[in-house]
């Protein structure tokens, strides 16, 4: 199987299916190759890797940074998640729309979420280990969130009663977020 990269329903968000070489010993795959991804219009320079371990039904999100925006390449090492990107860029024709996919250790899929999007996921398996490469470092005080179940966005989460952090419980709806706390659309195709 060759590397497959396809753009999802919002320009700039990509679903990636890396080439995975399996045999009786296990498998091998590249989780990132700058030149191959760049040729598919993902020319991000990653500067930080994060690992998240979460229990079943934990929902993390919808998170973003404003002055230090992070593009993210997300993949699952163990378990299964439903991963979501929400366009929150002021002036974007896709403002308030979401796209997502199931990522798992079995399907080896990745999602690339560009800067200017809110990102989140919910764990569907007993637990999940998620790695995400970021284009900028985590900056305390520059993190914001959008309410996970904002009815105007209408994300079709596969879990009705997720487990949230206290912080994520307090996130505001997109319409209640001050315009100055939303990124500006800078995406060029």
Catalytic residues: 63, 132
For 135-153, b/e burial (b = at least 16 CB within 10 A) is: bbeeeeeeebbbbbebeeb
Task: Kindly give, in sequence order, each residue whose CB lies less than 8 Å from that of residue 71, ignoring residues fewer than 6 positions away.
Answer: 44, 112, 113, 114, 115, 134, 135, 136
Token pair of 134 as six digits: 């970021």
Token pair of 13 as six digits: 């968000």
Q: How many helices (H) and strands (E) does the chain have?
A: 2, 13
Q: What share of residues in the chain are helix, strand, coil (percent, to 5)?
A: 10, 45, 50
Which H helix or E strand runs over 39?
helix 34-39
């Amino acid at each position: 199987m060759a590397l497959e990269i396809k753009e999802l329903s919002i320009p700039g968000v990509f679903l990636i299916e890396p080439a995975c070489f399996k045999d009786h010993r296990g498998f091998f795959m590249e989780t990132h190759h700058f030149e191959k991804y760049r040729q598919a219009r993902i020319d991000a320079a990653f500067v930080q890797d994060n690992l998240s371990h979460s229990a079943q039904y934990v929902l993390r999100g919808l998170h973003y940074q404003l002055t230090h925006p992070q593009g993210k390449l997300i993949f699952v090492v163990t378990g299964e998640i439903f991963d979501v990107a929400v366009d929150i860029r002021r002036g974007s024709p896709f403002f308030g729309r979401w796209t997502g996919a199931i990522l798992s250790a079995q399907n080896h899929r990745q999602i690339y979420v560009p800067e200017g999007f809110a990102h989140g996921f919910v764990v569907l398996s007993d637990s999940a280990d998620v790695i995400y490469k970021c284009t900028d470092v985590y900056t305390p005080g520059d993190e914001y969130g959008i309410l996970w179940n904002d009815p105007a966005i209408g994300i079709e989460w596969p879990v009705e009663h997720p487990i949230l952090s206290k912080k994520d419980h307090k996130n505001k709806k997109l319409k209640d977020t001050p315009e100055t706390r939303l990124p500006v659309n800078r995406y060029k195709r």
